[in-house]
Chain A
Amino acid sequence: MNTDNHGFKKHLLRHETVLLLVVAVEWFYFNSVGPRFGSLDNSFDILRHSVEIGLLALVMTPIILTGGIDLSVGSLLGLCAITFGKLWRDAGLPIPVAAGCTLVIGALAGGLNATLITKLRLPPLIVTLGTFSLFRGLAEAITRGADTFTNFPAAFLFLGQERWLGIPAQAPLFMIVAVAVWLLVHRTTLGRSFRAIGFAPEGARYAGLPVERRIAMVYVLAGVVAALAAIIYTARLGQAKADAGTGYELFAITAVVLGGTSIFGGIGSVHGTLLGVAAIAILNNGLVHARQPREVAGMLTGLLLILALSSSVVPKMLASLRARRQISSANIHQTKPA
């Protein structure tokens, strides 16, 4: 190995760099087969369609960094959409007030997850599996599975469907959250503490970190942002329904893991997550332009995920295999003369 360009190579082999190339390959491929794929309209469509899952993936990143997981965000999106609709239509609150209350409800729901995880010391997987059913069940109970909220004022639908200064109206909100989460994870001591907790929660505790409070924080954040996603989702569809956001938690987790965040915590980045979201969103949209069945998207996403994960494991395995072979061949050399 040449040690001169070692640093450069290391940078090149970084997961995010590989993923960026995958995104670029996707983009150029679909652009070459779909005449309208590269148009500004379509790029904005991709952005518009990935805002909700993107938001969930953004806040899922710090959770997974701490070694946790939140399966309830998709269900919470549904519950928040319903409560938002209920507050506006039935309680007669103005849209901004209803939205504010919905964010508070999101925070409370996230707080419930946080309390169960930190106070009762239950595994996040189990807690959020429970609230996954609880939140969706509540949404269905409130609407009895049939009631939907529509006829929102045009000024509110603008947020989900129109353009503001030439870009989709929800894009600035997404960018603000993306920058905020990126700064939180990569530029603050809080972010560093999430990673420390993910690496070794006991170690972090002995180092004097308020582990419980930090963990609680990421789940509350997820609740608030899921509520924000619910509001944007409602504006995009012009309808709030109990099954809003079904399955979004898995898309978000997929994007995070594809983005290079270790499911065991400790390692990962927010820009990786954004690339993961982009890779999946471009695939989903591009296949339509390539006149391919969209089911292929699920297959390719899975393939991409498996490849991305194994790409970091395979070289290590090969290296250890090579090392073992060297040792054994050395042993043979040693034993031969005897």
Chain B
Amino acid sequence: MKKLISVLSLAALAFAAGCGKSPDSSSGSPESGKKLIIALMPKSKGNAYFISCKKGADKAAAELGVELLFDGPTDPDPAKQNEIVENWITLGVDAIAAACENKEGISTALRKAKAKGIKVITYDADALPDAREFFVNQATPEGIGYTLMDEAARLVGNEGEFAIITASLTAANMIEWQKHIEARRSSKYPNLKMVALRPCDDLKDKAQSEATALLSANPNLKLIMAICSPAVPGAAEAVKQAGKTGKVKVIGLGLPNENKRYVHDGVTDSVILWNTEELGWLTVQAAAAVVKGQLKPGDKSFKPGATEYEIQGDSILLGKPFIFNKSNIDQFDF
């Protein structure tokens, strides 16, 4: 009997401890207030990128007075995202916004949510188009290519030689970005010359050795543009070790955290990505607007706050990529 009592009381204690810090401060009965519930799913829960998205999502939830649920897989089982969506369906949320790890797999669950009258949108990584109403698209290849080229031109003063380090010469997204970089260069900056395009296989070490080789082979090189994330710190390390800090500029497409050191040392000037907080903010704004009927299929733009976002088909465009530099990089942690 003692055993039974002890087991039960400990179990009860565990539950009590678990629910003591209940986050839903919306008062005892969640049904009473007509507060919208918006569920936001990251690809994986511990990922700093998505935690940064959540920061913006929280802000939007506070502005709109909606309840935000944030949940995603913590282990790599592909069924997890589906189970979470299915739990949300029975929980009766008003909208689901998902960043999809398995396009086809999660679409079955999202379609089920749609059939139950829940509004579904995706962000960051899309599902199949029939499983959601809108996709919040964080960056178009055009936006990325143009921003990289504009930033390069600004730093070197519209003329001189530059080189690109890419992940691989065959990856579709890389080719797409290069196409737009080249289009921008030839139309706006004809005096800038691309002298080399080197692959680094998405490896930091290889990027570093490629950059070192580029530096010695091209004495007039003014800038290295790294268009895959490991190449940005790789190129920066090469420039630093060659003692060419400031003489050869480094910019690239990457994550703030792995470049912070080089940005503060003055090796890397700009890291380009999208504003993840704004991505989270826009996603929650869009989800709420779809629920309220303010955002409908066929709309050409969406204006949740001061800025107006363009809608292409069923993609809500986050807009121009974001430039992280010395002045703002410390505000971001991912």
Contact = CB atoms under 8 A, between A and B. Distances in A.
Interface of A: 9, 12-13, 17-18, 21-22, 25-26, 29, 33-36, 39, 41-42, 45, 48-49, 52, 148, 150-151, 157, 161, 233, 236-239, 241, 243-248, 285, 287-296, 298, 300, 303-304, 307-308, 311-312, 314-315
Contacts of A285: 87
A243 B76 contact: yes
Interface residues of B, number: 44
B170 to A, nearest CB: 15
B168 interface: no
Contacts of B31: 35
A39 B90 contact: yes
Contact of B11 (A34, A48, A239, A307): A307
Nearest to A235: B108
B8 A246 contact: no
A42 B79 contact: no
B310 interface: no
Nearest to A49: B83
Given A22-B7, A314-B3, A246 B75 contact: yes
Interface in B124-161: none
Given A45-B86, A148-B104, A303-B14, A243 B77 contact: yes
Interface of B: 1-4, 6-8, 10-12, 14-15, 18-19, 22-24, 29-31, 45, 69, 71, 74-79, 82-84, 86-88, 90-92, 102, 104-105, 107-108, 112
Contact of A304 (B6, B11, B90): B11
B61 to A, nearest CB: 14
Nearest to B73: A294
Nearest to B37: A291
Contacts of B82: 236-237
Given A13-B1, A41-B90, A247-B75, 18 more contacts: A25-B11, A35-B29, A161-B112, A236-B82, A237-B79, A238-B107, A246-B76, A247-B77, A288-B84, A288-B91, A292-B22, A293-B71, A295-B45, A298-B74, A300-B15, A311-B3, A314-B3, A315-B2
A245 B69 CA distance: 26
Judged by DSSP, the binding face of B is helix
A6 B1 CA distance: 11
B8 A21 contact: yes
B50 to A, nearest CB: 14
Contact of A9 (B1, B29, B78, B105): B1
Contact of A296 (B1, B18, B86): B18
Nearest to B83: A49
Contacts of B2: 315
Nearest to A19: B7
B311 to A, nearest CB: 28
Contacts of B76: 243, 246-247
Contacts of B83: 49
Contacts of A295: 45, 74
B177 to A, nearest CB: 21
B102 A291 contact: no
Nearest to B116: A41
Given A12-B4, A246-B75, A307 B102 contact: no
A246 B31 CA distance: 37
A41 B88 CA distance: 12
Nearest to A44: B90
Given A12-B4, A291-B69, A238 B12 contact: no
7 contacts: A25-B12, A150-B104, A238-B104, A243-B76, A244-B77, A312-B3, A315-B2
A162 B8 CA distance: 37
Contacts of B88: 288
A21 B10 CA distance: 13
A49 B75 CA distance: 16
